[in-house]
Amino acid sequence: MKNIKLTIEYDGGRYLGWQRLGDSDKTIQGKIEHILSQIIGTKIEIIGSGRTDAGAHAKGQVANFKTDATVDLAEMLTTLNNQLPRDVVVKKLEEVPERFHARYNAAGKKYSYYVWNEVIPSAFERNYSFHYAEPLDLELMNEACRKLIGTHDFIGFSSLKKTKKSTVRTINELSIQQEAGLLHFTFVGDGFLYKMVRIIMGTLLEIGTGTMKLETIDEVFERKIRSDAGMTVPSQGLFLDEVYYK
């Protein structure tokens, strides 16, 4: 039994997210599974490192599948990319140990979120960033980032309903880089809850405009109530950059 790891890049703009949804062909997982099954000649199900939201993108999504078939990985990679739509690319195929699991073995992830912070929108950035025209206090936002770094219960910064699973996560890095009108937010952590990055982003932007106070972050950690945090920003500015494995 071979275990094959895929590293995948995609523009999620026209998809309903990563996870297969019934017979819909509007998911990344569904697209890749359909073509892999045709290539190998038997039904293939792939396991992703995690879901990405509808409209979100990835530069380094990871998945794996197992097969008994004899496969030439170089030939399969070429065939896959010839048959996949142009907004989905498998960057790498490699055989890994049988026990490797793309989701359970993931030790951390890196996300980026992009904000176009100019009064006038950008024709080129519109599909890959959130146009937010309000002036922002970056010094205050950096202070807010420092409050969010570390190990906390992030349930108040997520859209999760009640869950028995732990909602404690560790953010190792949360930083802001500015390049003219484009702001690049980098998130690195051991894992992220449902819509956690997008809600943290909304909170940071509202703190940056003065709509919310810096102390809001402490209140969300203490009260654990979603409505205390900021808005959920749109998905088109979100990228899964990398998945880390030990």
Task: Check if the beta carbon of residue 156 is closer than 8 Å to that of residue 226.
Answer: yes
Residues 103-116 have a mean pLDDT of 98
What was the pLDDT predicted at 192? 97
Catalytic site includes residue 53: yes
pLDDT confidence band for 25 (50 / 70 / 90): confident
Of the candidates 11, 23, 53, 137, the residue annotated as catalytic is 53
Q: Is 160:194 a contact under the CB 8 Å cutoff?
A: yes
Segments of the chain assigned to CATH 3.30.70.580:
2-96
User: Is the entire prediction scored with pTM above 0.85?
Assistant: yes
Res 24: pLDDT:
65
Quick one: CATH architecture of 107-245? 2-Layer Sandwich (3.30)
What stretch(es) of the chain map to CATH 3.30.70.660?
107-245
Q: What percent of the chain has pLDDT over 70?
A: 99
CATH of domain 2-96: 3.30.70.580
Secondary structure string (H, E, C) spanning the chain: CEEEEEEEEECHHHCCCCCCCCCCCCCHHHHHHHHHHHHHCCCCCCEECCCCCCCCEEEEEEEEEEECCCCCHHHHHHHHHHHCCCCEEEEEEEEECCCCCCCCCEEEEEEEEEEECCCCCCCCCCCCCEECCCCCCHHHHHHHHHHHCEEEECHHHCCCCCCCCCCEEEEEEEEEEEECCEEEEEEEECCCCCCHHHHHHHHHHHHHCCCCCCCHHHHHHHHCCHHHCCCCCCHHHEEEEEEEEC
Assess whether pLDDT exceeds 90 at residue 22: no
Give the tens place of pLDDT for each residue, 206-242: 999 999 999 999 999 999 999 999 999 999 999 999 9
